Chains A and B, each alone.
Chain A
Amino acid sequence: MTVLHGRTVVPGVVEGEALVSHETISGWGGIDPATGTIIERRHELCGVCFTGKILVFPGAKGSSGWSGFFQTTRLLGTAPIGMIFTVVTTKAALGAVVTRVPALTDLDRDPTEAIRTGDRLRLDATAGTVEILR
């Protein structure tokens, strides 16, 4: 079993399935909060739903509406259940805070390489670990 170590962004523990994006994600204009789906046309995950998944991604891009759009997924019940990201920006940090899901960053390995879509993860963001339960 592989364990990655990182820094707490939002504490909490969650277990679930990983959805890995190798490309940065736009919030405003890039996701549809009503359906929890990535809609940016050129994105590798265009049309894919992240609801109930642990979203693993390099970071946030685009509009400052990022956090508000992910906060809306929480209010509509379409949010991911956890976040693991590589590059810390205000968008991704505030987005994780207002989505209120366990979130981790600054990992000792690139999570978008170490984790594959469909992997079962145990994300202990309080302790700063993510276990890949393959």
Chain B
Amino acid sequence: MKLTDDDKAMRDGAEGPAVAAAMDLLIRYGEALDAEHLCDVRNVAGTTTQPSPVKARLVAEGGWEKAFSVINLDADFDSYEALPIPDMKVPTCQLQQGFGPDSVGIAPYPEKFVELQSDAEAFYGRRGVHILATCTPYQVGNLPTRGEHCAWMESSAVVYANSVLGARTNCEGTASTGAASLTGRIPCWGNHHDAHRLGTHLVRADVPVSGFRDWGMFGYFVGELVQEARPVVVGDLARPDLTELKHFGAAAASSGGVELYHVPGVTPEAPDVETAFGGTVPEAVGYGAAERRHVYETLNDQGSCTDVDFVLLGCPHASLDQIRAAARALEGRRLHSGTQLWIMAPRALKDTADRSGYTAVIEAAGGKVLADSCPAMSRSAPPGTKVFATDSAKQAHYLPAILGIEAWFGTLDECVDAAVTGRWRGGL
């Protein structure tokens, strides 16, 4: 891999040992990818504050500097206790983490992790990491410009940044984003190149795709079909809004590994189908009533008991429109005594929801708006949960494995009905 003089200087320690470790990781990683060189990034979104047993051990041994050295820079920790961590070189935010102090008594999340995380926020904040605490940084002010090279992790954020914003990022990891934050560099590979942003598969909706549930199911179908490739979707599509594009991409990134999709006439790099493919348009794969039915049944084959203990809304983190919609659906109603309802939101949007009065309506019904985390990231659901219902294809996909619980997938209204009656009564 070709290195610039600056890359070599960083590797050789001109900016200190942490930057040298970061460059060493980027070189090993770039060579693993067979990348030709690194490129500049000035927008990094990564994981730093999320607690884990391993991280807790490292912090006990050598503070956050050791945790960052080992986990975020993949530094060789046998030879030193920790590396002094400088300020972030380029704008950097962290993503979602565990639950915060306001969840104590609601989520059965270890208080020692809440404390550890608060300590982490203080450490990283001082070094210039924006504590956004959300899987959707683009909803709370971190909006890379079109064409900008970024180093983001979190599959649903990556697919949104590439597809909806037209920024350029691969699906980075904890170590590569850590290294990028201290160097402003990342391997120039994959989605950073024009040729790797063109569509590979054409998928045509032959049934109407409209509304949150159907955009999620369509995304789940497309991801399963193309895996890591780049779908271009056409057909009977209603113009999607932010929440639907967020849900579509998250579902496609869960069932497959989609990092970039095009919706001609909607997403910025696809004014039309021909442009999306850069030439020859392949034959379309159809998404009809049978395919839609199959996706629905797949998402619902992790449920057998219709007694619902827990309803989860907002994955990826809810938009203000989603929080308001939940508040409207819950207005004047009361949750079933055996069922809890959590809505996951970015902290900045929860604050807005509080001030807009939405949170009060949700809480009056017995529901909660929780920030910073989700049951998958925190590995916590209400105590005793056996069966949950969600409007998120992503959570229906992951949570049964992570928490060992049954899942039902449906619309917001079906989920709210389950929360109020304690029964799943959804259907296609």
Interface residues of A (CB under 8 A from B): 7-10, 24, 29-30, 34, 39-41, 59-68, 71-72, 75-76, 87-91, 93-98, 103
11 additional A-B pairs beyond A62-B257, A64-B173, A94-B32, beta carbons within 8 Å, are A30-B401, A59-B257, A61-B227, A61-B256, A63-B253, A64-B154, A65-B153, A65-B174, A68-B175, A75-B70, A90-B33
Please give, as numbers and ranges, the residues of chain B lying within 8 Å of A30 by CB-CB distance: 401
Please give, as numbers and ranges, the residues of chain A lying within 8 Å of B71 by CB-CB distance: 68, 71
Please give, as numbers and ranges, the residues of chain B lying within 8 Å of A103 by CB-CB distance: 32
Q: Mark B350-392, 1 if CB is under 8 A from A, else 0.
A: 0000000000000000000000000010000000000000000
How near does chain A come to B88, taking the closest CB pair, in angstroms?
A: 19
The residue of chain B having its C-beta at the shortest distance from the C-beta of A90 within the complex is B170
The residue of chain B having its C-beta at the shortest distance from the C-beta of A94 within the complex is B173
Report whether A97 and B154 are in contact in the complex, using a CB–CB cutoff of 8 Å: no
Report whether B155 and A63 are in contact in the complex, using a CB–CB cutoff of 8 Å: yes
Report whether B32 and A68 are in contact in the complex, using a CB–CB cutoff of 8 Å: no
**Is B28 part of the binding interface, using a Cβ–Cβ cutoff of 8 Å?**
yes
A29-B402 Cα distance, complex, nearest whole Å:
6
Please give, as numbers and ranges, the residues of chain B lying within 8 Å of A75 by CB-CB distance: 54, 70
**Is B52 part of the binding interface, using a Cβ–Cβ cutoff of 8 Å?**
yes
A96-B158 Cα distance, complex, nearest whole Å:
21
**Is B268 part of the binding interface, using a Cβ–Cβ cutoff of 8 Å?**
no
**Is B74 part of the binding interface, using a Cβ–Cβ cutoff of 8 Å?**
yes
A75-B28 Cα distance, complex, nearest whole Å:
19
A65-B154 Cα distance, complex, nearest whole Å:
7
A19-B175 Cα distance, complex, nearest whole Å:
26
A72-B74 Cα distance, complex, nearest whole Å:
11
How near does chain B come to A29, taking the closest CB pair, in angstroms?
A: 4
How near does chain B come to A26, taking the closest CB pair, in angstroms?
A: 8
**Also in contact, A64 and B153, with CB within 8 A (given A41-B302, A91-B171, A94-B175):** yes
Report whether B401 and A39 are in contact in the complex, using a CB–CB cutoff of 8 Å: yes
How near does chain B come to A31, taking the closest CB pair, in angstroms?
A: 10
Report whether A68 and B257 are in contact in the complex, using a CB–CB cutoff of 8 Å: no
Q: Mark B201-228, 1 if CB is under 8 A from A, else 0.
A: 0000000000000000000000000011
**Is B189 part of the binding interface, using a Cβ–Cβ cutoff of 8 Å?**
yes
The residue of chain A having its C-beta at the shortest distance from the C-beta of B52 within the complex is A72
Report whether A90 and B171 are in contact in the complex, using a CB–CB cutoff of 8 Å: yes
User: Which secondary structure dominates where chain A touches chain B?
Assistant: mixed
A30-B174 Cα distance, complex, nearest whole Å:
17
**Also in contact, A24 and B400, with CB within 8 A (given A59-B228, A66-B173, A75-B70):** no
* Contact sample, A vs B, 29 pairs, CB 8 Å cutoff: A7-B34, A9-B32, A29-B376, A29-B401, A34-B53, A41-B302, A59-B257, A62-B155, A64-B153, A64-B154, A65-B153, A65-B173, A67-B175, A67-B176, A68-B174, A68-B175, A71-B174, A75-B70, A76-B54, A89-B228, A90-B171, A90-B176, A90-B189, A90-B190, A91-B257, A94-B29, A95-B173, A96-B32, A97-B32
**Also in contact, A41 and B400, with CB within 8 A (given A24-B257, A72-B54, A103-B32):** yes
The residue of chain A having its C-beta at the shortest distance from the C-beta of B77 within the complex is A75
How near does chain B come to A12, taking the closest CB pair, in angstroms?
A: 12
Report whether B170 and A97 are in contact in the complex, using a CB–CB cutoff of 8 Å: no
Report whether B174 and A89 are in contact in the complex, using a CB–CB cutoff of 8 Å: no
Report whether A64 and B54 are in contact in the complex, using a CB–CB cutoff of 8 Å: no
How near does chain A come to B82, taking the closest CB pair, in angstroms?
A: 15
A65-B50 Cα distance, complex, nearest whole Å:
11
Report whether B158 and A64 are in contact in the complex, using a CB–CB cutoff of 8 Å: yes
A64-B53 Cα distance, complex, nearest whole Å:
19
The residue of chain B having its C-beta at the shortest distance from the C-beta of A61 within the complex is B257
Interface residues of B in 250-291 (CB under 8 A from A): 253-254, 256-257
Q: Of the candidates B33, B74, B257, B402, which one forms a contact with A98 in the assembled complex, judged by CB atoms under 8 Å apart?
A: B74
**Is B47 part of the binding interface, using a Cβ–Cβ cutoff of 8 Å?**
yes
Report whether B34 and A89 are in contact in the complex, using a CB–CB cutoff of 8 Å: no
Interface residues of B in 33-73 (CB under 8 A from A): 33-34, 47, 52-54, 70-71
